Amino acid sequence: MAQAADSSPTKASNGFRAKVVQTFGRPPRLQANAPVPLCWAATTLRQPYANLGDALSPVIVSALSGLPIVHQRFDSASERLASVGTIGHGLKNGSVHLWGTGIDGKRHPYHRHLTYYERPENTEFTIHALRGPFSARVFEKQGIPVTDAYGDPVMLLPKIMAPATEKTHELGIVVHISELSELKDGAAVRNELGRYYIPGDLRDSVKIITTLTDANLTALEDRVREMTACKRILSTSLHGLVIAETYGIPCAYFRPFGRGPLQVDLMDEQVFLDHRVRDYYAGMGLKTLHIFCRERKRPTNWERAIAAIDRIWQPVEWSPQRLLEAFPLPLAVNPMEVETFGDRALLERIRL
């Protein structure tokens, strides 16, 4: 894929910093209270619960930059940054910098009934890094210069949030928010989804985990600890998988049809696989992926799922170096050189 002429870390960072300097009067590295304008799927009055993957976007950007974060609408006319999440198709107007972002190529920025992406008018995109090559392909088809720097920024999370200190469950099943009976923390899975039924004798070792939490840093940390207290993860949520992979927990994507373990070709888009999962693992450099399948309405044999994960999972070998080099602001700290990073007081002030 073509390298954007202005997408080198130095030029891109200078361009984005220039806007912050213009707005706040000083370079962000010198003025600690100059917030980074960031787009993410934030909480609202109607939806007060945070979705874990989305909410980690401002946490990671703030931890890396050492700066406060101010939320920006997807359709803001201002210059802004976008990071974690499948949100690229919703970005329009103004100037948008993308770092680790994904896009749904079957969603239109203006018209919900259209099943394709079209570059929005009056919008300037600067691609610093994307989640994976399938997101890059969508932008490139619209004439937007892309880079081959890939990765989900949530892969940097272990040095910001510590994992659980002990394992409490053999298997954690992370469900997508679309599978919940209602959009709130602690909501049950929809009744018709029989594949999530857990027999009474397994309820101490197998548990359902949702990605919706209260909108504060402690709640996000608690959910990460809940996931990392599991010896294995089976997930329909992308960030259930990303968190499992980055903390070194054996895991598999839980495809909603078929039966049992399966190896799929990530490059073959005719094979059904959640496009976010395909994009993420391809961005990690994988060509094939082992998954576990079960139809939505049929009970799952959890012992078989556990045995399959133990047999098929291999750790993802990926370096964050290129993703970090593409970060469009000065790094407050290089995560590759420290054990932990992130100013907790600063992170706690983020309005998720």
Per-residue pLDDT of 204-257, as tens digits, reads 999 999 999 999 999 999 999 999 999 999 999 999 999 999 999 999 999 999
Evaluate the CA torsion angle 25, 42, 48, 239 in order and state its sign. negative
**Amino acid letter, 142:** Q
* DSSP per position, 205-238: TEEEE-SEE-SSHHHHHHHHHHHHTBS-EEESSH
Determine contact, residues 206/213, Cβ cutoff 8 Å: no
Q: How many CA atoms lie within 13 A of 19 on its CB side?
A: 18
pTM: 0.91
Per-residue pLDDT of 180-193, as tens digits, reads 999 999 899 999 99
Q: What is the pLDDT along the chain (352 residues), one digit of tens a residue?
A: 333 333 333 333 444 555 444 443 333 333 445 899 999 999 999 999 999 999 999 999 999 999 999 999 999 999 999 999 999 999 999 999 999 999 999 999 999 999 999 999 999 999 999 999 999 999 999 999 999 999 999 999 999 999 999 999 999 999 999 999 999 998 999 999 999 999 999 999 999 999 999 999 999 999 999 999 999 999 999 999 999 999 999 999 999 999 999 999 999 999 999 999 999 999 999 999 999 999 999 999 999 999 999 999 999 999 999 999 999 999 999 999 999 999 999 999 999 9
